[in-house]
Amino acid sequence: MPDKPGAERPKYQRIADDLKAAIEAGEYEPGDRLPGENALAPQYGVAVMTARQALRVLKNQGLAESRKGAGVFVQAFRPIRRRGIQRLAQDQWGTGRSIWDADDDRTLSVDQVSVEEVTAPPHIADVLGLTSSATACARSRRYSLAERPVMLAVAYLPYDLVAGSAITRPDTGPGGIYARLAELGHAPVHFREEIRGRLPTSDEADRLGMSAERPVLKICRTAFSTDGRAIEIQEMTLDSASYVLDYEFDA
Protein backbone atom coordinates (compact mmCIF):
# COMPACT_ATOMS: atom_id res chain seq x y z
CA MET A 1 0.00 0.00 0.00
CA PRO A 2 1.65 3.30 -0.98
CA ASP A 3 1.62 6.02 1.66
CA LYS A 4 0.86 8.63 -0.96
CA PRO A 5 -1.72 8.18 -3.71
CA GLY A 6 -0.21 7.94 -7.18
CA ALA A 7 -1.53 11.32 -8.25
CA GLU A 8 0.92 13.09 -5.89
CA ARG A 9 3.98 11.45 -7.45
CA PRO A 10 5.99 13.30 -10.08
CA LYS A 11 4.51 12.70 -13.54
CA TYR A 12 7.76 11.33 -14.96
CA GLN A 13 7.74 8.64 -12.27
CA ARG A 14 4.18 7.61 -13.11
CA ILE A 15 5.10 7.30 -16.79
CA ALA A 16 8.22 5.29 -15.87
CA ASP A 17 6.12 3.01 -13.63
CA ASP A 18 3.61 2.44 -16.48
CA LEU A 19 6.39 1.51 -18.92
CA LYS A 20 8.05 -0.74 -16.34
CA ALA A 21 4.74 -2.56 -15.75
CA ALA A 22 4.30 -2.99 -19.52
CA ILE A 23 7.83 -4.43 -19.83
CA GLU A 24 7.25 -6.80 -16.92
CA ALA A 25 3.90 -7.91 -18.39
CA GLY A 26 5.71 -8.76 -21.65
CA GLU A 27 3.99 -6.08 -23.74
CA TYR A 28 7.50 -4.96 -24.71
CA GLU A 29 10.07 -7.75 -25.03
CA PRO A 30 13.88 -7.56 -24.73
CA GLY A 31 15.20 -5.61 -27.72
CA ASP A 32 11.83 -3.97 -28.52
CA ARG A 33 11.76 -0.25 -29.17
CA LEU A 34 9.89 1.76 -26.51
CA PRO A 35 7.66 4.74 -27.40
CA GLY A 36 9.87 7.84 -27.70
CA GLU A 37 9.57 11.10 -25.81
CA ASN A 38 7.67 12.66 -28.73
CA ALA A 39 5.02 9.91 -28.55
CA LEU A 40 4.81 9.81 -24.74
CA ALA A 41 4.46 13.57 -24.25
CA PRO A 42 1.06 13.98 -26.02
CA GLN A 43 -0.15 10.59 -24.72
CA TYR A 44 0.32 11.71 -21.09
CA GLY A 45 -0.26 15.43 -21.70
CA VAL A 46 3.22 16.37 -20.44
CA ALA A 47 6.24 18.30 -21.73
CA VAL A 48 8.77 16.45 -23.88
CA MET A 49 11.35 17.04 -21.09
CA THR A 50 9.10 15.16 -18.65
CA ALA A 51 8.76 12.22 -21.05
CA ARG A 52 12.54 12.23 -21.53
CA GLN A 53 13.03 12.12 -17.74
CA ALA A 54 10.72 9.05 -17.57
CA LEU A 55 12.86 7.23 -20.15
CA ARG A 56 15.97 8.25 -18.20
CA VAL A 57 14.57 6.55 -15.09
CA LEU A 58 14.14 3.28 -17.03
CA LYS A 59 17.70 3.51 -18.33
CA ASN A 60 19.05 4.14 -14.83
CA GLN A 61 17.07 1.16 -13.56
CA GLY A 62 18.86 -0.93 -16.19
CA LEU A 63 15.53 -1.80 -17.85
CA ALA A 64 16.17 0.10 -21.09
CA GLU A 65 19.07 1.39 -23.15
CA SER A 66 19.56 4.12 -25.75
CA ARG A 67 20.89 3.34 -29.19
CA LYS A 68 22.25 6.41 -30.92
CA GLY A 69 19.75 7.90 -33.33
CA ALA A 70 17.45 4.88 -33.09
CA GLY A 71 15.62 5.47 -29.78
CA VAL A 72 15.24 3.68 -26.48
CA PHE A 73 14.98 -0.12 -26.36
CA VAL A 74 14.09 -2.70 -23.72
CA GLN A 75 17.34 -4.02 -22.25
CA ALA A 76 18.32 -7.17 -24.14
CA PHE A 77 21.45 -7.94 -22.12
CA ARG A 78 21.04 -11.20 -20.19
CA PRO A 79 22.57 -10.58 -16.76
CA ILE A 80 25.41 -12.76 -15.49
CA ARG A 81 24.34 -15.18 -12.76
CA ARG A 82 27.12 -15.18 -10.16
CA ARG A 83 26.89 -18.26 -7.91
CA GLY A 84 28.46 -17.09 -4.66
CA ILE A 85 28.96 -20.46 -2.96
CA GLN A 86 29.40 -23.08 -5.70
CA ARG A 87 31.99 -20.97 -7.54
CA LEU A 88 34.29 -20.96 -4.51
CA ALA A 89 34.08 -24.70 -3.85
CA GLN A 90 37.58 -26.14 -3.59
CA ASP A 91 37.00 -28.44 -6.58
CA GLN A 92 36.75 -25.32 -8.76
CA TRP A 93 40.14 -23.77 -8.03
CA GLY A 94 41.59 -27.09 -6.78
CA THR A 95 41.70 -28.45 -10.34
CA GLY A 96 43.05 -25.32 -11.94
CA ARG A 97 39.79 -23.85 -13.26
CA SER A 98 39.28 -20.13 -12.90
CA ILE A 99 36.51 -19.41 -10.42
CA TRP A 100 35.35 -16.63 -12.75
CA ASP A 101 34.39 -19.31 -15.29
CA ALA A 102 31.95 -20.90 -12.87
CA ASP A 103 29.39 -18.12 -13.17
CA ASP A 104 27.97 -18.41 -16.62
CA ASP A 105 28.28 -20.12 -19.98
CA ARG A 106 29.81 -16.89 -21.35
CA THR A 107 33.46 -15.97 -20.85
CA LEU A 108 34.63 -12.73 -19.27
CA SER A 109 37.68 -10.95 -20.61
CA VAL A 110 40.13 -9.08 -18.40
CA ASP A 111 41.94 -5.79 -18.90
CA GLN A 112 43.31 -2.87 -16.81
CA VAL A 113 45.45 -5.40 -14.91
CA SER A 114 47.90 -4.09 -12.35
CA VAL A 115 49.84 -5.83 -9.56
CA GLU A 116 51.49 -3.55 -7.03
CA GLU A 117 53.04 -3.53 -3.58
CA VAL A 118 51.00 -0.92 -1.68
CA THR A 119 50.24 0.47 1.74
CA ALA A 120 46.79 -1.04 2.29
CA PRO A 121 43.81 1.24 3.08
CA PRO A 122 43.16 1.22 6.87
CA HIS A 123 39.99 -0.97 6.72
CA ILE A 124 41.91 -3.59 4.69
CA ALA A 125 45.04 -3.47 6.88
CA ASP A 126 42.85 -3.97 9.97
CA VAL A 127 41.21 -7.15 8.68
CA LEU A 128 44.46 -8.59 7.26
CA GLY A 129 46.22 -7.82 10.55
CA LEU A 130 48.97 -5.77 8.86
CA THR A 131 51.24 -3.73 11.11
CA SER A 132 51.76 -0.09 10.18
CA SER A 133 54.97 -0.86 8.26
CA ALA A 134 53.66 -4.02 6.47
CA THR A 135 52.60 -3.75 2.83
CA ALA A 136 49.96 -5.54 0.77
CA CYS A 137 50.02 -7.07 -2.69
CA ALA A 138 47.15 -5.35 -4.57
CA ARG A 139 45.89 -7.09 -7.72
CA SER A 140 43.51 -4.87 -9.71
CA ARG A 141 41.63 -5.68 -12.93
CA ARG A 142 38.44 -5.07 -14.91
CA TYR A 143 36.12 -7.78 -16.30
CA SER A 144 34.05 -7.38 -19.47
CA LEU A 145 31.52 -9.51 -21.31
CA ALA A 146 32.03 -8.99 -25.03
CA GLU A 147 32.79 -5.24 -25.08
CA ARG A 148 30.67 -4.42 -22.01
CA PRO A 149 32.60 -3.74 -18.77
CA VAL A 150 30.73 -5.48 -15.93
CA MET A 151 32.98 -5.61 -12.86
CA LEU A 152 36.04 -4.05 -11.22
CA ALA A 153 37.98 -6.08 -8.69
CA VAL A 154 40.94 -5.54 -6.38
CA ALA A 155 42.47 -8.34 -4.31
CA TYR A 156 44.63 -7.50 -1.28
CA LEU A 157 47.00 -10.04 0.32
CA PRO A 158 49.72 -9.57 2.97
CA TYR A 159 52.87 -8.97 0.89
CA ASP A 160 55.14 -11.07 3.12
CA LEU A 161 52.79 -14.06 2.65
CA VAL A 162 52.98 -14.04 -1.15
CA ALA A 163 56.40 -12.50 -1.94
CA GLY A 164 58.19 -14.48 -4.65
CA SER A 165 55.06 -16.44 -5.71
CA ALA A 166 53.10 -16.08 -8.96
CA ILE A 167 50.52 -14.07 -6.97
CA THR A 168 52.83 -11.06 -7.35
CA ARG A 169 52.85 -11.49 -11.15
CA PRO A 170 50.05 -10.52 -13.57
CA ASP A 171 49.42 -14.18 -14.54
CA THR A 172 48.89 -16.27 -11.40
CA GLY A 173 48.74 -19.55 -13.39
CA PRO A 174 46.16 -22.38 -13.36
CA GLY A 175 43.61 -22.17 -10.53
CA GLY A 176 44.52 -18.58 -9.74
CA ILE A 177 45.29 -16.99 -6.39
CA TYR A 178 43.65 -19.73 -4.30
CA ALA A 179 45.59 -22.57 -5.91
CA ARG A 180 48.84 -20.62 -5.27
CA LEU A 181 47.84 -19.87 -1.65
CA ALA A 182 47.23 -23.61 -1.18
CA GLU A 183 50.76 -24.36 -2.47
CA LEU A 184 52.12 -21.85 0.05
CA GLY A 185 50.32 -23.72 2.85
CA HIS A 186 47.54 -21.15 3.22
CA ALA A 187 44.59 -22.73 1.40
CA PRO A 188 41.40 -20.75 2.04
CA VAL A 189 38.82 -22.90 3.83
CA HIS A 190 36.15 -20.36 4.72
CA PHE A 191 34.72 -17.26 3.03
CA ARG A 192 32.59 -14.30 3.97
CA GLU A 193 30.93 -12.18 1.29
CA GLU A 194 29.47 -8.84 2.36
CA ILE A 195 27.20 -7.08 -0.11
CA ARG A 196 26.08 -3.46 -0.29
CA GLY A 197 24.41 -1.35 -2.95
CA ARG A 198 25.09 2.32 -3.73
CA LEU A 199 25.56 4.74 -6.59
CA PRO A 200 29.02 4.55 -8.19
CA THR A 201 31.80 7.04 -7.66
CA SER A 202 32.67 8.96 -10.83
CA ASP A 203 35.81 6.83 -11.25
CA GLU A 204 33.80 3.58 -10.98
CA ALA A 205 31.19 4.86 -13.47
CA ASP A 206 33.97 5.89 -15.88
CA ARG A 207 35.72 2.52 -15.76
CA LEU A 208 32.45 0.57 -16.05
CA GLY A 209 31.28 2.82 -18.92
CA MET A 210 27.93 3.36 -17.18
CA SER A 211 25.77 6.23 -15.99
CA ALA A 212 26.65 7.58 -12.54
CA GLU A 213 22.91 7.33 -11.80
CA ARG A 214 22.81 3.54 -12.09
CA PRO A 215 23.67 1.63 -8.89
CA VAL A 216 26.62 -0.70 -8.37
CA LEU A 217 26.72 -3.74 -6.11
CA LYS A 218 29.78 -3.85 -3.85
CA ILE A 219 30.98 -7.28 -2.73
CA CYS A 220 33.73 -7.51 -0.16
CA ARG A 221 34.98 -11.07 0.21
CA THR A 222 37.30 -12.20 3.00
CA ALA A 223 39.09 -15.55 2.66
CA PHE A 224 40.18 -17.36 5.84
CA SER A 225 42.79 -20.11 6.26
CA THR A 226 42.43 -23.08 8.68
CA ASP A 227 43.82 -21.10 11.61
CA GLY A 228 41.06 -18.47 11.12
CA ARG A 229 43.47 -15.90 9.72
CA ALA A 230 42.14 -13.52 7.03
CA ILE A 231 44.57 -14.09 4.15
CA GLU A 232 42.89 -12.24 1.30
CA ILE A 233 40.26 -9.54 0.74
CA GLN A 234 38.62 -8.98 -2.64
CA GLU A 235 36.74 -5.73 -3.21
CA MET A 236 34.43 -6.03 -6.22
CA THR A 237 32.30 -3.37 -7.90
CA LEU A 238 29.57 -4.77 -10.16
CA ASP A 239 27.29 -2.96 -12.62
CA SER A 240 23.89 -3.74 -11.05
CA ALA A 241 22.27 -4.11 -14.49
CA SER A 242 24.80 -6.80 -15.48
CA TYR A 243 24.55 -9.17 -12.51
CA VAL A 244 22.25 -11.40 -10.49
CA LEU A 245 23.96 -12.69 -7.33
CA ASP A 246 22.87 -16.19 -6.41
CA TYR A 247 23.43 -17.97 -3.07
CA GLU A 248 22.08 -21.51 -2.62
CA PHE A 249 22.29 -23.33 0.69
CA ASP A 250 20.53 -25.85 2.93
CA ALA A 251 18.37 -25.05 5.97
User: Which residues contact a second copy (rule: CB under 8 A)?
Assistant: 1-4, 6, 9-10, 13-14, 16-17, 20, 24-26, 57, 60-62, 79, 84-85, 88-90, 112, 114, 121-123, 178, 187-199, 201-203, 206-207, 209, 212-217, 240-241, 243-251
**Beta-bridge partners for 117:** 137
Looking at the Cβ atoms of 69 and 144, the one nearer to a second copy is 144
Closest distance between a second copy and the C-beta of residue 167, in Å? 17
Looking at the Cβ atoms of 137 and 216, the one nearer to a second copy is 216
Closest distance between a second copy and the C-beta of residue 51, in Å? 16
Looking at the Cβ atoms of 31 and 209, the one nearer to a second copy is 209
Closest distance between a second copy and the C-beta of residue 108, in Å? 18
Residue 26 burial (CB < 10 Å; 0-12/13-18/19+)? exposed
Closest distance between a second copy and the C-beta of residue 158, in Å? 19
129: left (phi over 0), alpha (psi -120 to 50) or beta: left
Q: Which long-range contacts (CB under 8 A, 24 or more apart) does 32-41 make?
A: 32/73, 32/74, 33/70, 33/71, 33/72, 33/73, 34/58, 34/64, 34/71, 34/72, 34/73, 34/74, 36/71, 36/72, 40/15
Closest distance between a second copy and the C-beta of residue 169, in Å? 19
135: left (phi over 0), alpha (psi -120 to 50) or beta: beta
Looking at the Cβ atoms of 62 and 158, the one nearer to a second copy is 62
Looking at the Cβ atoms of 38 and 206, the one nearer to a second copy is 206
Separation in Å, CA 83 to CA 46, 48, 126, 249: 44, 42, 28, 11
